[in-house]
Structure 1
Amino acid sequence: MGKHAVIVGGGASGVTMFTALATAPGISSITVVDPNPIGLGTAFGTTDPLLLCNTSVDVTSLRPGGESDLLAYLAARGWPVHRDHFVPRYLVGQYCRERYLTYRRIVEQSGVRVRHHRARGTAVGPGEGGGHTVVLDDGSRLAATDVFLCLGLDQPVVPELVRRHLGHPDLSSSPYPVRRLRELPRTARVLVLGSKLAAIDATLVLGRPGRHVVLASPSGRLPAVRTRLSRPARPVLDPVSWRRLAPNSPDFDLAAARLVVSAVGRAGAGAALRTQTSGAAAPADRLAEELRLAESGQVPWQDAIAEIIEAINDSTSAWPVRTRTAILGRYRTLISRYISSIPARNARLLLDQFTRGTLAIAPGLPEAVTPAEDGPGWLVHWADGRTERMDHIVCAAGYHKPTLRRLPDGTLLLHSDPASASAGAEPEISADLRVCDPHTGEPERIWVLGAASHPRAAIVNYLNTAARQAADVAGELLRAGYQVPAPTVTGRPA
């Protein structure tokens, strides 16, 4: 009897885990649970060519090491790409989909049974005779020896400002799918709540025919600008000193800052960090200056980012959740502005909208929004006393990270919206990404990867993180000898 794996979530993280399992011996069956086509999750399921990946081809790969597998995939199909390029997200969706189908054929030819159950996983409970039972929203129950929770980001954050208006025809709870935004009138005035990556996607889509867009967020800041996010040709971060950082040390912040600044200095042959950023106060001016710096090759900080992300994830994985949350909270600006910076092409398009007068950024959220009484649309009430008429509001404040809850009977609930996860307690996640038994504290054969791994991984909206996790988990399975009887399935998969 071999292992019977169930992967909950068929987006990029789920495909990464599937391809890693394809090389692990002793697997008898793999079932992927997702209501959507496998490989086409929220991040890469778009078909809009305007929307680019926020990471370069080099690190947007289902394989964490060596030459980018995405680069090989695109080059084999005639795409003129470089490892530093930002490609349209739909290409990554196609890549994930095709790699899944390829590996599916490979494992099926070796005798492994593969199924796609088109439903949504809702819970994981104990199985008969050991193992686990995965409960689906269509009433089916799947038995498994090993469960991999690759839950994606599919529940948008809706700001309190507009939460009571959910369901209003002139309110979009998320920019995606962007088709709805494209269908708005060409003269529409749109308020976008947010100023980071999702908000920029919405702004780019809305701005093509010249709609007027106002971005509003607590920070009122756009991300920084980069021309690549690739692995450096040579290490720039001091790994020994980084591992020695003690989170409870009083000089932690100073020591960490020095290591980051030193890494940026090595990446840029000693260029001072202050010369790589703009100090302009106005968002449009700062965007223009940072775009100029990026396009003229004066932002070597970008070549330290990939290494910094790996170092942060590796070094903080064993920290207590509260410690990691507190420390990363102090570095929120670094993470949101520089680690999650935007491609230069997107910056050029935004700057063009500023120049045409069709884009503005508000320094903070409105005090209130109310539906217009004399017709469709909204009245937006600003802190300075102005009231502005808007035709549509788009929530672009990001997505809730998947939140797991453990019930007293041992059932593990799979929630995406923390507001709905009031029952039970948050389970402990081991350093090797396994959910721990609430009674013994021992790791169960339930793994969390990608976005679901946020209790242990600091930066999860990064495909390279999921790829590294999947490779580690697959290596662990190679050393495992855990077997239970073949699973049974109630219900019919699509």
Structure 2
Amino acid sequence: MHPQPDLEPACPTMTTSRDVVIVGGGATAVSSFTQLAATLSPGDSVTIVDPNPVGFGHAFGTSDPLLLCNTSVDVTSLRADDGSDLLDYLSSRGWPAHPEDFVPRYLVGQYCRERYQESRRRAERRGVRIEHRRTRATAVRRDGTGYTVELTDSTALFATDVLLCLGLDRPVLPEPVRRHAGHPALLDAPYPVDRLRGLPRDAEVLVLGTKLSAIDAALVLCRDGRRTVMTSPSGELPAVRTRLRRPERPLLDADRWQRLAPGAANLDREVARLLVEAVNRADRPLPLREQTSPADAPAPRLERELALAAAGRVPWQDVVAEVIDTINDWTAAWPASTRADVLGRYRTVMSRYISAIPERNARLLAGHLADGRLSVATGYPTSIEPEGPTSWRVEWPDGRVEHFTHVVCGTGFQKPQLSLAGPGRYRIGPAEPGAAVPEITAELRLREPQHPEADRIWVVGAAAHHRTAIVNYLNAAAKQAARIAAQFAAVPV
């Protein structure tokens, strides 16, 4: 793959080889590369475009052993076929892992990096050229027989095929602090956690959010004794689980689920019935009311749900992997607006149970709550205003005023944005006002409205969120990558 100056495409009049550009270098990109590489022939090329080292993406690029995956080894794998490639990797290196384990995220980063290097060496021995361009892509445009991938360094790449494996790397700034972006005592995300570890030991920190990234922030901050307050509109912490893995036998009635129409009057009742039936098919069936805590306050609810998980009284957890796959399949053909409307009604349940936290993290949080280092406030502050370079004045809905030295946003990340910026040109990043969103076909290819054919531009993982409901799940991205690799193998360039 060769850079082209001044964004001028270098489209040959005829090509007998594939020039593949993969935009992104995290776990989704590595999954795509390792599965795609086996379909390529001598003379083909792959260029990965990402400013960071390949394999060390945002999700797994941390080096802090405190931070765990919230999915088990069984489904945290670059391949989604039988068995777990991650388990094989860990076992071969002497790590005493089990399919149900939640391992430190840095281990998954190492796994991704090594699998990429192994696959790259095999491909290069077969005559496939591999390159890593440490920059960002801003757009892809259709040009003659192929595509031009525009880069931030004012160069471009010719491609016969493009895979967009964009990660979640743009933090969501909540409205109360949005206008204070760039303030030295405002961290827009917990990552990299070196920034949190670098705060003074006597810092008093307000963490906005109570879900996964906010919990990561709280664990790092409280470990060193900093007083930390977490807050969100709901004040709810996720549920607690001891595993998230594929079931040994089906628990969901997937056929009945797929027949449910999004506009059906009895939809919510039927979804609830199917979920309850699935949980009741688990190995240790229990009434749902005995699997959760009725407590309203975050601390006692966490304690109770931690005790239930430790006692093995949460069979709901064994349905989650199936639910994710079923929801993704069920809603794949829906318009994005319909999917958002229907799934929005289940947002609370999905965020608590699909994104539940490992038992170990729950135990650490409970300890910090009991010791007084951590507290959880229900309801967002009415105002968050800086008073100086390391001072914030925070007013709560009941009129109380507190002062913090730092504010950390643990409110998640924006999904990657793709839009049309003219005929045959797909923009990567925030869209211009009024810009149209391209269609994502059943084959995960981009298609421009009114254009007769889908482009040879595929979206994988988070980039496919307009067609895939739950994208922050490596198993789902690995399945998508396998589908795309099968298309490459079946259809020559």
- Using the size of structure 1 for normalisation, the TM-score is 0.95
Question: How far does the alpha carbon of each residue in 1:409-441 deviate from its partner, in whole angstroms, 9 at most, with x for none?
Answer: 3311101xx5x5436211111122110033325
Cα distance in 2, alignment partners of residues 175 and 115 from structure 1 = 31
**Partner AA of 1:303 in structure 2:** D
**Partner AA of 1:335 in structure 2:** M
Secondary structure of the residue aligned to 1:2 is: coil
Q: Which residue of 1 aligns with 2:361?
A: 346
Q: Which residue of 2 aligns with 1:462?
A: 473
Cα distance in 2, alignment partners of residues 25 and 182 from structure 1 = 44
Q: Does 1:313 align with 2:328?
A: yes
User: Residue 216 of structure 1: CA displacement?
Assistant: 0.9
Q: Which residue of 2 aligns with 1:492?
A: none
Deviates more, 1:338-347 or 1:261-270: 261-270
**Partner AA of 1:212 in structure 2:** R
**Partner AA of 1:63 in structure 2:** R
Identity %: 57
User: Residue 358 of structure 1: CA displacement?
Assistant: 1.1
Alignment of 1:371-386 (within 5 A): 371-372=386-387, 376-386=390-400
Cα distance in 2, alignment partners of residues 412 and 144 from structure 1 = 14
Alignment of 1:47-446 (within 5 A): 47-127=63-143, 129-372=144-387, 376-415=390-429, 418=430, 421-422=432-433, 424-446=435-457
Cα distance in 2, alignment partners of residues 71 and 191 from structure 1 = 37
**Partner AA of 1:402 in structure 2:** P
Cα distance in 1, alignment partners of residues 74 and 282 from structure 2 = 17
Residue pair 1:175, 1:181 contacting (<8 A) in 2 also: yes
For this pair of structures, how many residues does the alignment match? 477
**Partner AA of 1:455 in structure 2:** H
Tell me: CA distance 1:421–1:50, structure 2 relative to 1, closer, same or farther (3 Å).
farther
Q: Does 1:473 align with 2:484?
A: yes
Residue pair 2:240, 2:356 contacting (<8 A) in 1 also: yes
Residue pair 2:41, 2:127 contacting (<8 A) in 1 also: no
**Partner AA of 2:132 in structure 1:** H
The structure 1 segments of at least 4 consecutive aligned residues displaced by more than 4 Å after TM superposition are none
User: Residue 295 of structure 1: CA displacement?
Assistant: 0.5
Deviates more, 1:179-188 or 1:422-431: 422-431
- Using the size of structure 2 for normalisation, the TM-score is 0.95
Cα distance in 2, alignment partners of residues 242 and 376 from structure 1 = 52
User: Residue 8 of structure 1: CA displacement?
Assistant: 0.2
User: Residue 408 of structure 1: CA displacement?
Assistant: 2.3
Question: How far does the alpha carbon of each residue in 1:215-242 deviate from its partner, in whole angstroms, 9 at most, with x for none?
Answer: 1111110000000001111110112211
Residue pair 1:198, 1:397 contacting (<8 A) in 2 also: yes
Secondary structure of the residue aligned to 2:326 is: helix
Q: Which residue of 2 aligns with 1:4?
A: 19
**Partner AA of 1:461 in structure 2:** N
Unpaired stretches in structure 1, ≥5 consecutive residues? 483-494
Secondary structure of the residue aligned to 1:167 is: coil
**Partner AA of 2:397 in structure 1:** A
Question: How far does the alpha carbon of each residue in 1:227-281 deviate from its partner, in whole angstroms, 9 at most, with x for none?
Answer: 0001111110112211211112111111111111111111144311111001111
**Partner AA of 1:142 in structure 2:** L
Secondary structure of the residue aligned to 1:49 is: coil
Cα distance in 2, alignment partners of residues 91 and 364 from structure 1 = 36
**Partner AA of 2:21 in structure 1:** V
Secondary structure of the residue aligned to 1:14 is: helix
Cα distance in 1, alignment partners of residues 200 and 283 from structure 2 = 46
Residue pair 1:407, 1:423 contacting (<8 A) in 2 also: no
**Partner AA of 1:432 in structure 2:** E
Tell me: CA distance 1:421–1:288, structure 2 relative to 1, closer, same or farther (3 Å).
farther
Question: How far does the alpha carbon of each residue in 1:142-199 deviate from its partner, in whole angstroms, 9 at most, with x for none?
Answer: 1111100000011000011001111111110110001111111112110000000000
**Partner AA of 1:188 in structure 2:** A
Cα distance in 2, alignment partners of residues 69 and 120 from structure 1 = 29
**Partner AA of 2:75 in structure 1:** V
